[in-house]
């Protein structure tokens, strides 16, 4: 019940985000899935499994990966003892027969499936960092332990692409590794993996199709989100975004999504006369964004708070200054923001409460505490030229 309650909260929160951004983001393609539909179907399938009452005892260990400790952070995932336990479980599962594997799958809860998905993400990172195919085999085995009806299938296919990328990156026969995992999987997961194997090479390129790209950190390669917008920067926006994420982590926020090839939504700066804004946005060479979740101990309504840092590189310094001036002029009762400009970089910090009646944690005055730190990060890159 705790998981189902969490799913309901998450869906409500996501619906609030969609309502907020409906005039901010570009329209979804006509074949886009309805927000929450796949997850709702998965929850229904999980409830049906439980109602049968013959699930058996799950072999999954107690505990989950901890978002607040950075264990779900793909740019630089924090160490977790859970990895070694799950790797042993994957090895045992791979050695078992088809009937045993099916029984194991039916005993694992939907909540535990998402623990396996997180493990697979981590395996894709560590497989590259250690140049160790065993990590990737375990990550793919974890996917073979999943029943597709009880998760959002898109979560699985994206992980297939990540693990395939990691295998190619370290010189492994990626398609063979995927084929081995398909042989261990239930029919729907197996078909999904085989479809990926048989897809054209250009459809397997991580950045081109699957919403991720590599990023180099001081601890090795990680994965950063990719949002498919114009991206021709002269500055290293990946590294700047990672630095910004690490900076807000020293404050009251845990970095959540760190993305590149993003846009700067005109919503935040638009006024009745926005001709200068429209012209400035046409001069954007590339963008990045960092979203953070307010830590639970900071506010009783921490889940209702939005905190996002938008970053763009523009054609010249005058455009960055124009965006800065617009950020100073724009006043809005529903959100607060802080603009900064260094060289050809413009940064906009936006914060608000997403729930009517819930007080916003930040104000224009409180956001000022980020000015010096963010300006310092931007200047380190702009002065490198």
Q: Please determine, for residue 217, whether its predicted confidence score (pLDDT) is greater than 80.
A: yes
Higher local confidence (pLDDT), 130 or 22:
130
Residue 265 lies in a domain: yes
DSSP state of 69: G
Measured distance CA(89)–CA(331) in Å, rounded:
55
> Cα angle vertex 142, ends 159, 78, to 5°?
70
Residue 368 lies in a domain: yes
Residue 274 lies in a domain: yes
Residue 13 lies in a domain: no
Q: Please determine, for residue 19, whether its predicted confidence score (pLDDT) is greater than 80.
A: no
Task: Indicate the pTM of the whole model.
Answer: 0.89
Residue 51 lies in a domain: no
Q: Please determine, for residue 35, whether its predicted confidence score (pLDDT) is greater than 80.
A: no
* Orientation of helix 187-197 relative to helix 133-144, angle to 10°: 130
Instruction: Indicate which CATH number applies to the domain containing 259.
Output: 3.40.1000
Q: Predicted confidence band at 214 (pLDDT cuts at 50, 70, 90)?
A: very high
Residue 163 lies in a domain: yes
Measured distance CA(73)–CA(313) in Å, rounded:
25
- Kindly state whether residues 73 and 205 are assigned to the same domain: yes
Residue 12 lies in a domain: no
Q: Please determine, for residue 385, whether its predicted confidence score (pLDDT) is greater than 90.
A: no
- Kindly state whether residues 204 and 106 are assigned to the same domain: yes
- Kindly state whether residues 185 and 254 are assigned to the same domain: no
Please list, in sequence order, all residues whose beta carbon lies within 8 angstroms of the beta carbon of residue 329, skipping any fewer than 6 positions away: 271
DSSP state of 225: E
- Kindly state whether residues 237 and 377 are assigned to the same domain: yes
pLDDT tens string 134-174: 999 999 999 999 999 999 999 999 999 999 999 999 999 99
Q: Please determine, for residue 30, whether its predicted confidence score (pLDDT) is greater than 50.
A: no
- Kindly state whether residues 368 and 233 are assigned to the same domain: yes
The backbone region for 261, taken as left when phi is positive above 0, alpha when psi lies in -120 to 50, beta otherwise, is left
Measured distance CA(70)–CA(249) in Å, rounded:
10
CA max distance for the chain = 68
For residue 342, give its domain range: 227-382
Residue 9 lies in a domain: no
H or E stretch including 278? helix 275-281
Domain count, the chain: 2
């Amino acid at each position: 019940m705790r998981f189902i309650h969490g799913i309901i909260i998450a869906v409500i929160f996501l619906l609030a985000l969609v309502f907020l951004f409906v005039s901010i983001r570009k329209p979804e393609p006509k074949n886009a899935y309805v927000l929450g539909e796949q997850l709702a179907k998965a929850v229904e399938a999980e409830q049906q499994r439980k109602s049968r009452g013959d699930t058996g005892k799950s072999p999954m260990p107690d505990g989950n990966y901890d978002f607040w400790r950075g264990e779900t952070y793909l740019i630089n995932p924090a160490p977790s003892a859970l990895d070694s336990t799950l790797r042993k479980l994957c090895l045992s599962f791979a050695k078992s027969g088809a009937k045993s594997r099916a029984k194991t799958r039916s005993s694992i809860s939907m909540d535990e499936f998402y623990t396996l998905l997180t493990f697979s993400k981590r395996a894709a990172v560590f497989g590259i960092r250690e140049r160790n195919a065993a990590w990737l085999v375990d990550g793919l085995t974890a996917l073979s332990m999943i029943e597709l009806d009880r998760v959002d299938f898109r979560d699985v296919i994206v992980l297939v692409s990540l693990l395939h990328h990691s295998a190619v990156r370290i010189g492994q026969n990626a398609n063979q590794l995927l084929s081995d995992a398909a042989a261990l999987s239930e029919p729907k997961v197996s078909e999904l993996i085989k479809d990926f194997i048989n897809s054209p090479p250009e459809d397997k390129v991580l950045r081109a199709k699957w919403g991720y790209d590599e990023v180099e950190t001081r601890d090795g390669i990680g994965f950063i989100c990719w949002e498919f917008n114009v991206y021709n920067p002269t500055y290293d926006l990946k590294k700047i975004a990672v630095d910004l994420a690490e900076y807000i982590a020293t404050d009251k926020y845990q970095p959540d999504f760190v993305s590149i090839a993003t846009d700067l939504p005109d919503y935040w700066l638009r006024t009745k006369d926005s001709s200068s804004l429209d012209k400035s946005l046409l001069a954007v060479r590339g963008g990045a964004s960092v979203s953070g979740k307010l830590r639970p101990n900071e506010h009783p309504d921490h889940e209702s708070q939005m905190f996002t840092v938008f970053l763009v590189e523009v054609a010249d310094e005058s455009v960055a200054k124009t965006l800065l001036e617009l950020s100073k002029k724009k006043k809005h009762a529903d959100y607060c923001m802080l603009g900064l400009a260094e060289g050809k970089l413009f940064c906009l910090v936006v914060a608000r409460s997403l729930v009517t009646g819930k007080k916003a944690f930040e104000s224009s005055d409180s956001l000022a505490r980020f000015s010096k730190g963010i300006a310092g990060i931007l200047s380190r890159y702009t002065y490198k030229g």
